[in-house]
Amino acid sequence: MAGTDDPGSENASTLRIAAGLVLVLALAGGGAWWYLHRSPAAEAPAVAEEAPPQASSAPASPAGPPPVQHPLEEPAATGEPLPAVGESDGALAEALKGLIGAPAVQAWLVPDEIARRFVATVDNLPRNVPLEKRRPLRSPPEVLLVDRTVIDAATGAERITLSARNAVRYDTAVALLAGTDATQLAQAYRRFYPLLQQAYQDLGYPDRYFNDRVVEAIDDLLQAPEPAAPVILVQPKVLYEYEDAALERLSSGQKLLLRMGPAHARTVKAKLRELRALIAIAPK
C-alpha cells in the first residue's frame, strides 16, 4: 500500500478510473472516478509516476511489435476532425459534460492534459504504484476512515481496521457510474481513441496498442478479491498499510476497489464487464 495515499495509495482519481476507467474511459478518462484518499497525517512527498523508459536508439527486437489483441472498430465519421493531443482538453471536457454533466466535470476534473493523465493512470492501474502524480481527477477532501480498538490497555496497543463507513465516501461516484450508459461510454471512447493512442505512444509505447492495455487493466480490476471483513491495517509511519502481505501486493486498481467496500466494488465490476464486452473484440 505504499505511496502517497492510505492502503492502496491512489486517490479519487483512482476510483473513477476504476469506476472511472469507464466513465472517464469513455472520455479518455480514467474511470468513473477512483477516489483514493490520504491518511489523516501530513501529505507524503509526490512520487514520480511509473512509466516505461522512452524508446532508445537500440535496434528493434527481431520479433517486432506485439500483435494487437483487441482492435477497435472505426467510429462513424462526424465531419469534425479531432484536435492534437496537446490541444484536446476543451473537446474532451465538453464530451465529458455530455456524459456525466457539467457540475461533475467542474467539481472533479483536472482540466489540463486530460488525455495524457487518463492514459498514464490507466497504464499504472495494474501495477502496485502510486497514481497520485498524474491523476485526472481532483482529490476529495475526506480522509480514510478507520476503526481503532485498544487491545492492550497497559501498552495502549491498538487494532486498526478499515471502517465500513469508508464506503460512504464513494456513494456519489459509484451511483454516477452505475447510471451511465455503457454503450454511450464506448462510443465516446472510440471517438477520441486516436488521441489516447497518441498519448500512449508518447508515454513510451511506440509499438503498443492502448486499447489492449485498457482491457488488461479492466481484467485486473475484475480479479480484485473481496476479503472477509474486517480488513486489518498497520501504520508503521505516516501511511497505513495492509497487515496482510497479499493485500499489500495487490495492484493499485485492486486496492482501490478494496477500499470502496464489497457492495460498491461489485457495482463497479458489473459496469466494467459491460464496457469490456463493447471494446474487447478479438481480431478477425
Q: What is the pLDDT of residues 181-221, one digit of tens each?
A: 899 889 989 999 999 999 999 999 999 999 999 999 999 99
CB 33 within 8 A of CB 13: yes
Exposure of 231 in the CB half-sphere (CA atoms within 13 A): 29
Residue 196 included in any domain: yes
* Number of domains comprising the chain: 1
Residue 243 included in any domain: no
**The C-alpha cell of 78 is what?**
462526424
Q: Sheet of 241-242: strands edge to edge? A: 146-152, 157-162, 232-234, 241-242
pTM, full prediction: 0.79
Give the domain extent around 274.
Answer: 12-53+67-142+167-227+251-279
Residue 25 included in any domain: yes
Which residues, other chains included, contact 31 with Cβ-Cβ below 8 Å and sequence gap of 6+? Answer: 14, 15, 16, 17, 18, 19, 20, 21, 22, 23, 24, 25, 122, 177
Strands (DSSP E) along 113-223, which ranges? 146-152, 157-162
5-48, pLDDT tens digit by residue? Answer: 445 434 433 434 434 554 544 333 333 333 323 333 333 333 33
Residue 109 included in any domain: yes
Residue 108 included in any domain: yes
**Of residues 84, 95, 88, the one with CA closest to residue 113:** 88
